């Protein structure tokens, strides 16, 4: 649970409406990387954290791919191929679902969001 609260307080505190310094820095880093022409993979073991990140990057109008354990194998392959071909610069990935077996050569930066 401590690792979850370090990702974002709302993962631990029900009805939390405040912000997160870690999330603010993550969004700033994503913008800097994209402006610098970088492409990134962002991993978390917590799908709830990935969903929060997803909401925040949508609010920032950042296009991305999202992969977790609910993603169908056919969709996984399509997203991996599209990412490697440069269609989007950000890929949010659950560690359990995407920790092995993915050939993601299109990225030059990896962020592991969990502590």
pLDDT tens-digit series, residues 2-45? 555 555 555 565 776 767 777 889 999 999 999 999 999 999 98
Give me 30's structure tokens.
């994503």
Q: Look at residue 1 and tell me whether its pLDDT is greater than 70.
A: no
Tokens of 27: 């969004």
- The Cβ of residue 87 has, within 10 Å, a number of other Cβ atoms equal to 12
Q: What local confidence, expressed as pLDDT, does residue 84 receive? A: 97
Partners of 40 in the β-ladder? 90, 109
Convert the pLDDT of each residue in 56-81 to its tens digit.
Answer: 999 999 999 999 999 998 999 999 99
Would you list the domain boundaries of the chain?
A: 2-112
Residue 14: how many CA atoms within 13 Å on its side-chain side?
0
pTM for this model (two decimals): 0.86
DSSP state of 75: H
> d(Cα 106, Cα 36) in Å, to the nearest integer?
15
Give the pLDDT confidence score for residue 17 in this predicted structure: 73
How many CB atoms lie under 10 A from the CB of residue 55? Answer: 11
Name the CATH superfamily housing domain 2-112.
Answer: P-loop containing nucleotide triphosphate hydrolases (3.40.50.300)
């Amino acid at each position: 649970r401590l690792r979850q609260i370090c990702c974002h307080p709302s993962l631990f505190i029900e009805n939390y409406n405040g912000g997160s310094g870690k999330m603010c820095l993550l969004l700033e880093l994503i913008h800097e990387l994209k402006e610098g022409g970088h492409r990134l993979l962002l991993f978390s073991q917590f799908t709830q954290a990935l969903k929060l990140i997803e909401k925040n990057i949508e609010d920032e109008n950042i296009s991305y791919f999202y992969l977790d354990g609910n993603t169908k194998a056919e969709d996984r392959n399509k997203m991996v191929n599209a990412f490697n071909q440069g269609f989007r610069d950000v890929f949010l990935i659950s560690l359990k679902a995407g920790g092995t077996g993915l050939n993601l050569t299109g990225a030059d930066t990896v962020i592991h969001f969990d502590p």
